[in-house]
A and B are shown apart, each in its own frame.
Chain A
Amino acid sequence: MSRTDANPSGRLPDAFTTPGTASFVDFLSSYAPELLPGNRALPAGSWAAELSAPHGTTIVALVYEGGVVMAGDRRATMGSMIASRSIEKVFPADEYSAVGIAGTAGLAVELVRLFQLELEHYEKIEGSLLSLDGKANRLATIIRSQLGLALQGLAVVPLFGGYDLDRATGRIFSYDVTGGRYEEHDHHAVGSGSVFARGSLKKRWRPGLDEVGAVAVAVEALMDAADDDSATGGPDAERAIYPVVATVGAGGYRRVPDGDLAAATDGVLAARRAARGGDPR
């Protein structure tokens, strides 16, 4: 079945009226497979090493009492150059989940668009939301279809977090390039600065954090990552560029406004100054 079967009368092709799947990815793969990101023909050889495309960096996520916080820095790099200082890497996947993506920025943005559409398509056709595990599994399927590109060096590694309406808790899922899906407890980070961010999260996260506290921990983890990883951007007060921080709780996805992030950043800096006792180093 392909687009060549379109009836000259202009009526909707059979693929549209065939009952069955509620998945947009499945529909695309039967009707217009060339539109799927994983289905493009690639030149042979290992050319990806010479290819320079923007690369997104650090994403952190942590669970708090009643939801999950996800945050991503705003830097994209191309080799040693900063490709963008205002890229956004954390997106709402649907009303009750968020997805952040590290890796090749162009592919990542396309995958997020497909994933968002996949969830919305299901919701419209079935009239109900997928379970959080169902959403996490759909994302795994989409990432798995990218394995060819990942082997060429164009990997995309998402972090998925959401509010589980059945269990009334926030949950976090991490992935590898082969589509492996792993549920993380309490907190997790991906991307080039993730080593430093994880260290920071381990020390700062504690059970029973409230939303404001969790946002502050996420901001601090990104600041720690930016301290030691050149590909992660710290908060930029001069240009008013702050990380994208989102909370997902029973009330749905909410992006934390820049004003709150500025306050959280100032709080971290003030605490550190006080801890140094005025020593400027």
Chain B
Amino acid sequence: MPFYVSPEQLMKDRADYARKGISRGRSVVVLQYDEGVLFATENPSRALHKVSEIYDRIAFAAVGKYNEFENLRVAGVRYADLRGYSYDRVDVTARGLANAYAQTLGTVFTTESKPLEVELVVVEVGSEPATDQIYRLSYDGSVADEHGWVVMGGQAERLASVLGDGWHAGMTLRDALALAVRVLGTATDDGGKPRTLEATGLEVGVLDRTRPRRAFRRLTGPALEGLMPGKGGAHAAERSGVADEPGDATPAP
């Protein structure tokens, strides 16, 4: 004979389960810079991506269980391509995609035996920073419209305070990457030391608003090396030093 479980307890158990799964993964940081939006995460794999292109101006980042968010990514690409094919390319929006994801996550959370252990960010770059859209979706289908930056995954709260202090509007790509690398390498709660991350262990992508059609670009190899803090000459070091001081917003050239 089944025991009675109150709906509150049921939902709480599911949420705890999902949160536990998500917090095991490495964090992803998403932050705006003057010419687009930067995604960065620690990911030694060159093939299993956490950051991907969805459509011309839209990209996707996820933490949690790989098979679950990979499935959602493919669904998002199909959703966007079908929409663009039936209407027009400009009619594919991050808001529509975020809604579809929210409904999917929410329905799975309430009706299926196991919630999806994922957290997603859907980003669309506009023609200027003010028109960029960043949506953060949780395992239960809740959507948040974020401004400037987002951190997801394990240690998200602690990293968010570091990122929130360091971020300011109008950062250059180099400054934004330096901040992201610093945030990802900060000390863990259990008494670890701050680490200096190498380019080879990072997965970095940008939605670059200056690119003509498909704005998404992965930064790998020499392109990433050249942008890493401490690389690319004295000028770079000087610039990334400036980035640590909030309020010193360098306007886009």
**Most chain A CB inside 10 Å of its own CB: which residue of B52, B82, B103:** B82
Say yes or no: is B108 at the interface (Cβ < 8 Å to chain A): yes
B52 touches A124 (CB 8 A): yes
B125 to chain A, nearest CB (A): 17
Complex Cα–Cα for A124 and B214 (A): 11
Chain A residues in 8 Å Cβ range of B79: 12, 16
**B74 in complex: contacting residue of A28, A32, A114, A125, CB < 8 Å:** A125
Say yes or no: is B17 at the interface (Cβ < 8 Å to chain A): no
A16 touches B103 (CB 8 A): no
- Secondary structure at the A interface, as helix, strand, loop or mixed, is helix
B46-85 interface code vs A (CB 8 A; 1 in, 0 out): 0101001110000000000000000110110111011011
Chain A residues in 8 Å Cβ range of B100: 10-12
Complex Cα–Cα for A31 and B79 (A): 11
Closest to B80 in A: A124
**A12 in complex: contacting residue of B53, B84, B104, CB < 8 Å:** B104
Complex Cα–Cα for A116 and B122 (A): 24
Closest to A9 in B: B107
**A24 in complex: contacting residue of B75, B81, B104, B106, CB < 8 Å:** B81
**A127 in complex: contacting residue of B47, B75, B85, B86, CB < 8 Å:** B47
Say yes or no: is A113 at the interface (Cβ < 8 Å to chain B): yes
Count of CB-CB pairs between chains A and B under 8 Å: 64
* A124 with B77, Cβ < 8 A, contacts A11-B108, A12-B104 known: yes
B77 touches A35 (CB 8 A): no
Complex Cα–Cα for A138 and B78 (A): 18
A17 touches B72 (CB 8 A): yes
Say yes or no: is A52 at the interface (Cβ < 8 Å to chain B): no
Say yes or no: is A7 at the interface (Cβ < 8 Å to chain B): yes
Say yes or no: is A85 at the interface (Cβ < 8 Å to chain B): no
A279 to chain B, nearest CB (A): 48
Complex Cα–Cα for A166 and B86 (A): 34
B85 touches A12 (CB 8 A): no
B114 to chain A, nearest CB (A): 15
Complex Cα–Cα for A125 and B100 (A): 18
B71 touches A17 (CB 8 A): yes
Closest to B74 in A: A125
* A10 with B103, Cβ < 8 A, contacts A17-B75, A127-B47, A127-B49 known: yes
28 contacts between A and B (CB under 8 A): A9-B103, A9-B107, A10-B103, A10-B107, A11-B100, A11-B106, A11-B107, A12-B75, A16-B75, A17-B71, A17-B104, A19-B71, A24-B81, A24-B85, A27-B82, A28-B82, A32-B82, A32-B86, A35-B86, A113-B85, A117-B81, A117-B84, A120-B81, A121-B81, A124-B52, A124-B77, A125-B74, A127-B47
Residues of B with Cβ closer than 8 Å to A? 47, 49, 52-54, 71-72, 74-75, 77-79, 81-82, 84-86, 99-101, 103-104, 106-108, 111
Given contacts A19-B74, A113-B85, A117-B84, 13 further A-B contacts (CB under 8 A): A9-B107, A12-B104, A16-B79, A17-B71, A17-B72, A35-B85, A35-B86, A117-B81, A117-B85, A124-B53, A124-B54, A124-B81, A125-B74
